[in-house]
Structure 1
Amino acid sequence: MINDDRTIVALDFADRGDAEALVARLGGACGHYKIGLELLTAAGPGLVEELVGRGHEVFLDLKLFEIPHSVAGAVRAAGALGASMVTVHAMGGTGIMSAAVDAAREFPGLRVLALTVVTSMTGSDLADIGIGVTPDEQVLRLARLAAGAGCDGVVASPREAGLLRGVLGPRPLIVTPGVTLPGADAGEHAARSGTAQAAFAAGASHVVVGRGVTRAADPLAALRRVRSGG
């Protein structure tokens, strides 16, 4: 069985009631949840505080991409809520990543993760915005930039986990969304998805699983399948 602390369930809901119902169904089987912009906007920051108050870790996936001052303020707000992780866009450059890292120092339990290339993007998508390299090359370039800025780790697809571990070494976090059950539809992560077992074997520190668990008829059974690789 994979350590539950490393398996993060994404609460990708538009309604607080749906998110709370899923948390209740999983009970003590899940200790780590991801909250993104959709749910944060719909439910407000109180949900983060509620989950933290119950003993859960919260990965606040804000994907911050703003001027450094604004990024620093948002990171402080995430830390004040009790979040364990917060994301900033590596494509924003060293300035915003360094600002996020500096702001997070006020909160010892908060780790700053740099988002490299979102799991839905392909080489042609990168070309559309003027980036003439493969997703692998761009992920590695941004990961090195994030490490230089002092980030605690990176977010990338399961397919890049092995490359990243080889470049970053053993300590930084490598968090991989786009995790699916074997044989399941990858949905919006289809371009660069993978299983939890493959991601961990390649060097991921954490995996993020979404609809494969949250939309399952039996979410608890689905979560157990993610951990067992079946």
Structure 2
Amino acid sequence: MDAPDREKLVDELYLVHCDIFDGVSKEDFASYVVYSKANETRILIHKNAQGQSVGYCAIHFFEQNLEGRQSTVIRMEAGLMRAYRGKNRNAPFVCRQVLAYRLTRPGRRVYYLGALVHPSSYMLLDKYATRVWPSAQQSSELDYGGVIGQLARLFGLKPVDPDKPGVVHVGWQTRDNEGDRKQWQASANSAAQFYIHRNPGYTKGHGLLTLVPVTLGCMAHATGRMVLNRLSRLFAPHPHGHRG
């Protein structure tokens, strides 16, 4: 894309972003999403029936040297207007992009690094990934602590509190209302409760640094979960009876 088209894209996506998030300037949004310094960037744009943009998912591949080995760090920004949520619309796009990258670089370590600013994002990772750091299931965080410190420095992520490793200043605040917050506090989902316990300041724009090793096994697991979810929706009982 040439410069004018990129600026049009920034304007278009920032309007969507401001409907979903608060706390980020247009300049910062552009540098994160459209003008990322990643080696590769791909952006999915969701449009409604009228052709208006209602969501986006940007995925970035940063090639880094981590602990003396050539590695890739995947970072993402995504948002979808409230009226269009509920069908996990980004997962197929993300899986295709990550799998294609993974298959063309055998032997390279690949991680996903998220500075997650909402429990729903952590829940998705917990659902689709085979290993997530930090998590209630990963009792030992030695690997997490070693890699996350280096990644935080590489990406300039500043901790909120030195005594709480992995919680950083992000600034992006999801536009939840008081009812939404109370629902999340009362959620029976163990992943949501773990996230809130580790990052109670997410409503202030604090992010929980979350690391996922992206292996072929992880990709196969995520793809299998997606297929099962789609089948369960397809064969779920129709609220108005059977369809002929």
User: In terms of Rg, which structure is larger?
Assistant: 2
The structure with the largest strand share of the pair is 2
Same-fold call, TM cutoff 0.5: no
TM-score (normalizing by structure 2): 0.30
TM-score (normalizing by structure 1): 0.32
The structure with the largest helix share of the pair is 1
